[in-house]
Amino acid sequence: MQIADKKVVTLNYTLRDDQDTVIDSSQDGSFVYLHGASNIIPGLEKALTSKSVNDELSVTVEPAEGYGERNPEMSQVVSIEMFDDAEDIEVGRQFHAASPDGQPVVVTVTAVEDGNVTVDGNHPLAGVTLFFEVKVMDIRDASEEEIAHGHVHGPDGHHH
Q: Tell me which amino acid residue 110 is.
A: T
The rounded distance, in Å, linking the Cα atoms of 70 and 61 is: 15
**Residue 18: strand, helix, or coil:** coil
CATH 3.10.50.40 fits 7-67+126-149, yes or no: yes
Check whether 95 has a pLDDT greater than 90: no
3-7, 38-42, 118-122, 154-158: lowest mean pLDDT where?
Answer: 154-158
**DSSP output for 1-45:** -B--TTEEEEEEEEEE-TT--EEEEEEEEEEEEETTTT-S-HHHH
What backbone phi and psi angles, to 5 degrees, belong to 140? -145, 165
Q: What angle do CA 121, 46, 39 make, to 5 degrees?
A: 50
Q: Which residue has the higher pLDDT, 95 or 58?
A: 58
User: Which class does domain 72-120 fall in?
Assistant: mainly beta
CA atoms within 13 A on the CB side of 101: 2
Q: Are 12 and 137 in contact (CB under 8 A)?
A: yes
CATH 3.10.50.40 segments of the chain: 7-67+126-149
Q: Which residue has the higher pLDDT, 130 or 155?
A: 130
Check whether 160 has a pLDDT greater than 90: no
Using the Cα atoms of residue 98, residue 100, residue 103 and residue 109 in order, give the sign of their dihedral.
Answer: negative
CATH 2.40.10.330 segments of the chain: 72-120
Q: Which residues pair with 106 in a beta bridge?
A: 96
pLDDT tens digits along 105-135:
889 999 999 999 999 999 989 999 999 999 9
Q: Tell me which amino acid residue 24 is.
A: D
Residue 156: the pLDDT is 53
| Mean pLDDT of the 84-97 span | 86
* Most confident segment among 74-83, 86-95, 100-109, 133-142: 133-142
pLDDT tens digits along 18-77:
999 999 999 998 899 999 999 999 999 999 999 999 999 999 999 999 999 999 988 999
Residue 66: the pLDDT is 96
